Structure 1
Amino acid sequence: MNVALDLVGVALIVVATLLIGAYGLRISRTTSDFFVASRTVSPVWNASAISGEYLSAGTFLGLSGLVLLDGARGFWFPIGYAAGYLLVLVFVATPLRRSGAYTIPDFVEARLESLAARRVTSAAVLVIGWLYIVPQLHGAGITLVVVAGLPEWVGAVTVAVLVAAAVAAGGMRAITFVQAFQYWLKLTALLVPVILIAFALSGGPHDFDPALVFPAEAGPSGFDAYATGSLLLALLMGTMGLPHVLVRFYTSPTGAAARRTTVLVIAMVSVFYAVSSGMGLLGRIVAPDLAEPGVADTVALVVPSRVFPGIFGELLTALIVAGAFAAFLATSTGLVVSLAGVISQDVFSGSVRSFRLSAVLCSLVPLAVALLTAPAGLVSSVGMVFIVAASTLSPIVLLGVWWRRLTARGAVAGMVTGGVSCGLAALIHGAIDGVGVAAPLLAQPAAWTIPLATATAVIVSLLDRRGAPLRTDRFLSRLHTPDRA
């Protein structure tokens, strides 16, 4: 493996990110530019940026590794990831844009007229965001270990520093350009090698047994109904609770533009998932020896050189390495932008200067966690984030948009219940190591944590004698009134 080529690929991504960010900085002047890009992002640019930040390390490297490990079972993740945007499209994209908020805590406070609800929402946003950034930093570390033999901390520190600098410099407007570019780079970085490898295998001596690629036990008859259903529920609902996804809709000019953006996102991410999953299937043919936990995530980095020995395979590997770093940077920048907006408004003055300080702080916390923890499977780590988001923020956002009787006490109770139940499930499952009748319920808790959090929010709201705010009907009317032409 040519280390120099791989490092050149990483360096080019770093330079491109800095140059595009510098261009965005030239036109980022106002507070609105930093928080929501002055709500002027077109559907195509916005969809590219959303897709760029949504397609994380868990997708770029982890999804192909999951398909390598589990075969057809691995396809449930991309199905859930893409289908989650259908719920966003139908239920929340347009109303959130019409709310006029900058962040999710802004929306909750405006809807419920409660500072306490805002603070709990802000805490949930920070936890979800930081949990999501850590796998990106681990993925960067894994990539440099595999391709260059560098210590794992080098990749994590590199991404964290770049993200902090890019977000602090130009805010949402600058990051929009960066993430849009990175989506198309990531797609190219996987699509070109997948097509070339597929052609090489179809016309070469690489005979393979279809039963190896699509084993019967990994088909529908081998699925665990509860685990699969709970996972899909978490992925479907979790998208509505991801702060870096929802904040993007505030950058659209109108509610109708937010809706068009979501349709484009569904198409863009679906294409990418097909390509990433395809790399995992190719890995089952040429690299079945990598089908081990902790190693499978490297399959996309290894397959090209096995099919094309020599300089051509090394060039394809360098392209994938560049795309992988684009994935780490895009998702991390999107998360840091959304978190910096929350901290800037809730802790500091809400100014451009406080936004920049918040961006640095929001990068340092997950970096510290990443340096102190060992990387787990990238897809499973990201999957846990979806479970937390689906059990805390998603029910409150959905109820806040569509149910007028939601109260601040109900929202707080729902978020706390969802967060605590997810945390307890993870701790107990880790302690008993999957032993016992309740193990499946603890390994995939979304099927009961989401209904529990939702029911708690509804029951507490109904029992709350203070009731919903007096201006609820006026606020909901604004959310659901069609945009003027």
Structure 2
Amino acid sequence: MAAVIVTAIATILIGMYGVRAVRTTGDFYVASRTVTPWWNASAIGGEYLSAASFLGIAGLVLAYGTDMLWFPVGYTAGYLMLLVLVAAPLRRSGAYTLPDFAEARLESTVVRLTSSVLVVAIGWLYLLPQFQAAGLTLRTVTGAPAWVGPVVVAAVVLVSVLGGGMRSITFVQAFQYWLKLTALALPVVFILLAWQSDGRPELATPEEPAFTDRTAVEITTDVTIDVTDPVTVRADGTIDGEPIDDELTLTSGEHDITAGSVLTFPAGAQIPHASQLTPMSGEHWALPMRSGGDHPLYSTYSLILALFFGTMGLPHVLVRFYTNPDGRAARRTTLTVLALLSLFYVLPPLYGALGRLYTPELLLTGRTDAVVLILPGELVDGAAGQALTALITAGAFAAFLSTSSGLTVSVAGVLSQDLLGRRVRNPVTGFRLGAGLALLIPVGLALSSPTLSIADVVGLAFAVAASSFCPLLVLGIWWRRLTWPGAVAGLITGGGAATAAVTTTIVLGPQDGWLGALLAQPAAWSMPMTFTVMIVVSLLTQRHVAPGVDRTMVRLHTPENLDLDRGDWDPEDRWRHP
């Protein structure tokens, strides 16, 4: 709790320091476009490394093994796609938000409104796991009720954002990146030393995960477990609706365990797993193409597409490029981000792999995302273990705060301009009202919806982004014949289909067969659908090509360091060959 309080206070104080520099609307939305590449890269690392990066990847590796390494690879490679395709032109567009860019490029308020709806939907979908992870973290380390985490994170984010907008949270997020990196890097040194002193036992063994010693497992949330082999345990709590305080034989099949129950397993007993998990067992954990259900090859390639191309469609990532002074700075920022992300993403898989060995009981409770929080205390005894756990907690809390801040700014910018802009005269007041609305819905969803795998939900947000804004940006920047009817048709068709698939998966849970694979990983079919619809409809509606498209395309692709005195530009911004 002390770590959480210190992190929250530091966030607020640094945000207050940024308030002093806020004087204009541009300061609120894009920090007056004066953020240097190093500061911007650190801030991007702060907001991009979310709960999915800090907790979720480790939890996925613990349960599903090497297949999950595509997540850190994809999260990092997405910035390479940004660097190659959109970073510099997007900065040269001069827009404040992604809907601003869409309207400026296609000269249509319809495409702006459609983009605004998708920005809000993606932002809320991405905020949901941040708040759920905050509840998980505080419940794990302090025993606080599940609602405390989302409320605390939302309150701190609101104070930071309302104070100084983008300029304020730039300082906050840069600080939080280095806190998160330290919080993972320092404990992993002690964890690896403990593994070394233990004789470096193999991480993947042919046997199923089993308790090495007599182990008591406390169930903190209601869970249904799947027992493969019958096992006799000492139970204290409510099992299958019946109170019990005695020895009990769990037969093969599913059993409902109520929160607060304690199950004590004998040494050597095979570890049951939560029914919502289908963890890899034995050597399959260390082999690729084993965790994609009935169609692992399709699931893997679809996930790669979503992660590689979804990054360029995340509104809280794109808004950062508007804060650079010019396109060259945007490219330098992206290169620096690639280095910072590569450094960070080495660490979470180590926690997941060693968690498989030392905290396999998390498979039973279903709380695999908590492995980063629990592992240091399991391997390091005494005050040192408690100090490392506190540091990890501070880093996790920083992850929730930084990503939530960036998402809140991006969603608030859209809500204030497109929903509240005509009703509130002062744009700063509109931004602050938009920030409140941006947080209200996801907090409510986090408190009322079932807890889902953090990285899975974020992966679904990437799929929606890849199926909507990625085609819009790529075609809008590189294809002059794109029209606003084509853009709108593609956003509604592909983005809508991906959103429907994501919603179905979240509400109904994973399905079997091809239907389940297509719904769980929609990017492989929804992204090509969006490109196809945008291109075909645009070719059929060429009369709606934006009148100023030539001027816009020149602006997007002309370097800022062009020597204007040479006469390459005339007063009407029309290009002349030297």
Pick the TM interval, shorter chain: over 0.9
The question of 1:420 aligning with 2:488 is answered: no
The question of 1:450 aligning with 2:444 is answered: no
- What residue in structure 2 maps to residue 390 of structure 1? 466
* Structure 1 residue 363: Cα displacement: 1.2
Give CA deviations for 1:86-118 in whole Å, capped at 9, x if unaligned.
Answer: 000000000000000000000000000000100
Distance in structure 2 (CA, Å) of the matches to 1:70 and 1:346:
42
* Structure 1 residue 394: Cα displacement: 1.2
Distance in structure 2 (CA, Å) of the matches to 1:42 and 1:423:
35
> What secondary structure sits across from 1:456 in the alignment?
helix
CA contact (8 A) 2:40 2:333 kept: yes
> What secondary structure sits across from 2:407 in the alignment?
helix
Distance in structure 2 (CA, Å) of the matches to 1:71 and 1:217:
5
Task: Give the residue type in structure 2 aligned to 1:386.
Answer: F
Q: How do 1:15-414 and structure 2 match up within 5 A? A: 15-202=9-196, 204-212=197-205, 215-216=283-284, 218-220=286-288, 222=290, 224-292=296-364, 294-349=366-421, 351-414=427-490
Give CA deviations for 1:219-243 in whole Å, capped at 9, x if unaligned.
Answer: 2364621110000000011001000
Q: Structure 1 428/303 Cα, relative in aligned 2: closer, same or farther at 3 Å?
A: closer
CA contact (8 A) 1:212 1:284 kept: no
Q: Structure 1 370/94 Cα, relative in aligned 2: closer, same or farther at 3 Å?
A: same
* Structure 1 residue 428: Cα displacement: 5.1
Q: What is the number of equivalent residue pairs in this alignment?
A: 478
Q: Structure 1 212/27 Cα, relative in aligned 2: closer, same or farther at 3 Å?
A: farther
- What residue in structure 2 maps to residue 462 of structure 1? 539
State the identity as a percent: 53
CA contact (8 A) 1:418 1:449 kept: yes
Higher relative contact order, structure no. (Cα contacts within 8 Å, ≥ 6 residues apart): 1
Task: Give the residue type in structure 2 aligned to 1:446.
Answer: A
My pick for the range that moved more, 456-465 or 237-246, is 456-465
- What residue in structure 1 maps to residue 220 of structure 2? none
Q: Structure 1 51/148 Cα, relative in aligned 2: closer, same or farther at 3 Å?
A: same
Distance in structure 1 (CA, Å) of the matches to 2:510 and 2:169:
41
Task: Give the residue type in structure 1 aligned to 2:26.
Answer: S
Distance in structure 1 (CA, Å) of the matches to 2:43 and 2:170:
6
Task: Give the residue type in structure 1 aligned to 2:494.
Answer: G
Q: Structure 1 437/106 Cα, relative in aligned 2: closer, same or farther at 3 Å?
A: closer
Backbone CA RMSD of aligned residues: 1.6
Return the structure number with greater helix share: 1
Task: Give the residue type in structure 2 aligned to 1:421.
Answer: A
Distance in structure 1 (CA, Å) of the matches to 2:137 and 2:203:
30
- What residue in structure 1 maps to residue 277 of structure 2? none
My pick for the range that moved more, 463-472 or 245-254, is 463-472
* Structure 1 residue 205: Cα displacement: 2.6
CA contact (8 A) 1:37 1:172 kept: yes
Q: Structure 1 359/431 Cα, relative in aligned 2: closer, same or farther at 3 Å?
A: closer
Q: Structure 1 258/437 Cα, relative in aligned 2: closer, same or farther at 3 Å?
A: closer
Distance in structure 1 (CA, Å) of the matches to 2:537 and 2:190:
57
Q: TM-score, normalised by structure 1?
A: 0.95
Q: TM-score, normalised by structure 2?
A: 0.80
Distance in structure 1 (CA, Å) of the matches to 2:11 and 2:502:
36
CA contact (8 A) 2:190 2:380 kept: no
> Which consecutive residues of structure 1, in runs of 5 or more, have no partner in the other structure?
1-6
Distance in structure 1 (CA, Å) of the matches to 2:339 and 2:370:
26
Task: Give the residue type in structure 1 aligned to 2:337.
Answer: V
> What secondary structure sits across from 2:147 in the alignment?
helix
> What secondary structure sits across from 1:220 in the alignment?
coil
> Which consecutive residues of structure 2, in runs of 5 or more, have no partner in the other structure?
207-281, 563-578
- What residue in structure 2 maps to residue 3 of structure 1? none
Return the structure number with greater strand share: 2
> What secondary structure sits across from 1:251 in the alignment?
coil
- What residue in structure 1 maps to residue 572 of structure 2? none
CA contact (8 A) 1:57 1:139 kept: yes
CA contact (8 A) 1:294 1:376 kept: no
The question of 1:481 aligning with 2:553 is answered: no
* Structure 1 residue 217: Cα displacement: 5.2
